[in-house]
Amino acid sequence: MTYSAGEALLKEKIGLDANSIGAGAIANVIAQRMAACKITHISSYLEYLQQSPAEWEALIDIVIVPETWFFREPETFAILQQYISSQWLLKQPQRVLRVLSVPCATGEEPYSIAIALLEAGLSATKIHIDAVDISKQCLLKAQRAIYDRYSFRGNSLDFQWRYFQPTESGYRLREQIKSMVNFIHGNLADPNFLIDQPPYDIIFCRNLLIYFDQAFKEQTLRVLERLITIDGLLFVAHAEAGLLLQTKFNSWRKSSVITYQKMSKQQSLKDKIYLPIKESLAVAPQNKIIVNDLQTNLLETAQAAADRGCLDEAVKLCRKYLNENQMSVEAYVLMGEVQQAMGNNEQAVQYFHKAIYLQPTHKEALTHLALLKEHQGDVASANLLWQRIQRLDQKEA
């Protein structure tokens, strides 16, 4: 028996696609666990693993990537707040807003959601937040709610002094926010995930789908579709935006954030709501088809094709545009995003590199590249890129 049997088990149990972090990485963590258990043969270890829930947990804890921080991709939280103040509070002021954060890792994401919702004007009694992760170790840390400086990145850290108290062991989150989040141990790769829960109005599912293979991605999207209300909003990470093209979710794009809304039964794929890039979420009329016939620019048309899920068409248009505009940073970024959506990660990396070569301070391209490197298991390059982004944030501050 070889390490590939371990890879297959991890895929079956938690959806982890070895290609997303590299087969070498999985072999390394299995070797680490074998050493910790003093087991020398892989076949004996895999047998032991099958019988020992505690060993599964230990393996999961070292194979997962729990990287997260408060207000990661801050524009997403700005859009959430905009939606609450301009739509939710006007239409459903009395209803409790149900929110799901999965995977929540060590809690920074669901706590950021709680802070964002309070600051958007919702009262704590009108907010219900469930936060799920497969790692019990992460959940324990989340429930402890004491964080070190790595959980605070970027330049907008005002919330830190408002909601955290510095202590000897780290920054302790105020009880008011801590008590707003219910942490649940769960596995999103399970088709019966949260089967008994009522649907959620908002779902954050960021930085997990990229670790799943196509079959698990599709299964997970069906699970999310079951778990979200009609008109509910789904947020994924920048790097995952392409994964939801051609699904039963409508996409809205605002600046660099794409938000998804479940399509009602009457709508078909070809009726997807489509808003041009600069359309504001706040003024987006619901269930209305907007045909974007104002595209004058080839690059905008390429972007529009990408947003509709016509990836081949987007590539063609983008290439045509690049033939005439070889120095267009935005075109390289778009090509990178589309290649990534098509699963061509290596090509995506090359396009993001070209964009950064032309504009070394392009934060979106740097972020895409950092996430791709992280997902390819190249932690050293990813860290260098994160440091570069942090320096840019500090300069902007």
Ligand X SMILES: C[S@@+](CC[C@H](N)C(=O)[O-])C[C@H]1O[C@@H](n2cnc3c(N)ncnc32)[C@H](O)[C@@H]1O
Using CB under 6 A as the criterion, which residues of the chain lie in contact with ligand X when the complex forms?
Answer: 14-15, 64-68, 72, 103, 105, 109, 133-135, 138, 187-189, 206-208, 237
User: Shortest distance, CB of residue 320 to ligand X, whole angstroms?
Assistant: 35
State which residue, 15 or 232, has the beta carbon closest to ligand X.
15
- What is the 8-class DSSP label of residue 211? G
Q: Is 95 exposed, middle or buried (0-12, 13-18, 19+ CB in 10 A)?
A: exposed
Q: How far is residue 379's CA from residue 287's CA, in Å, rounded to a whole number? A: 42
State which residue, 64 or 244, has the beta carbon closest to ligand X.
64
User: Shortest distance, CB of residue 216 to ligand X, whole angstroms?
Assistant: 8
Contacts of 118 (CB under 8 A, 6+ apart): 124, 127, 177
User: Shortest distance, CB of residue 188 to ligand X, whole angstroms?
Assistant: 4
User: Shortest distance, CB of residue 211 to ligand X, whole angstroms?
Assistant: 6
Q: How far is residue 227's CA from residue 322's CA, in Å, rounded to a whole number? A: 41
Q: DSSP H helical segments within the chain, as ranges?
A: 3-14, 18-21, 23-36, 42-51, 53-63, 74-83, 89-91, 108-119, 136-144, 158-163, 175-178, 214-227, 298-308, 311-324, 329-341, 345-358, 363-375, 379-396
Residue 15: φ, ψ to 5°: 80, 0
Q: Which amino acid, residue 65?
A: V
User: Shortest distance, CB of residue 14 to ligand X, whole angstroms?
Assistant: 4
Q: Taking Cα atoms as reference points, which of 77, 70, 132, 124 lies closest to residue 97?
A: 124
State which residue, 209 or 334, has the beta carbon closest to ligand X.
209
User: Shortest distance, CB of residue 268 to ligand X, whole angstroms?
Assistant: 31
State which residue, 141 or 262, has the beta carbon closest to ligand X.
141
State which residue, 208 or 302, has the beta carbon closest to ligand X.
208
State which residue, 155 or 325, has the beta carbon closest to ligand X.
155
